[in-house]
Chain A
Amino acid sequence: MATTSKQYKVIGEELWKGRAEKTNAELFALTYGALVVQLIQDYEDYEEVNKQLEKMGYNIGTRLIEDFLARSNIGRCVDFRETGEVVAKVGFKSFLNITPSVTHGGLPIAASPTRSSTASPAPTIPGATFTLTLDENPLAEFVELPEEALEGGLWFSNILCGVLRGALEMIQMQVTATFISDVLRGDETTEIKVTLVKYLEEEVPVGDD
Chain B
Amino acid sequence: MTTAARYKSRVFKSEDSEDKQYVGFATLPNQVHRKSVKKGFDFTLMVAGESGLGKSTLVNSLFLTDLYKDRKLLNAEERINQTVEITKHTVDIEEKGVKLKLTIVDTPGFGDAVNNNECWKPITDYIDQQFEQYFRDESGLNRKNILDNRVHCCLYFIPPFGHGLRPVDVEFMKALHEKVNIIPLVAKADCLTPNEIKKLKDRVRDEIERFGIKVYQFPECDSDEDEEFKQMDKELKECTPFAVIGSNTVVEARGQRVRGRLYPWGIVEVENQSHCDFVKLRNMLIRSHMHDLKDVTCDVHYENYRAHCIQEMTSKLAQDNRIDSPIPILPLPTPDAETERLIKMKDEELKRMQEMLEKMQQQMHEKDTC
A binds B: no
Using a CB–CB distance below 8 Å, which chain A residues touch chain B?
none
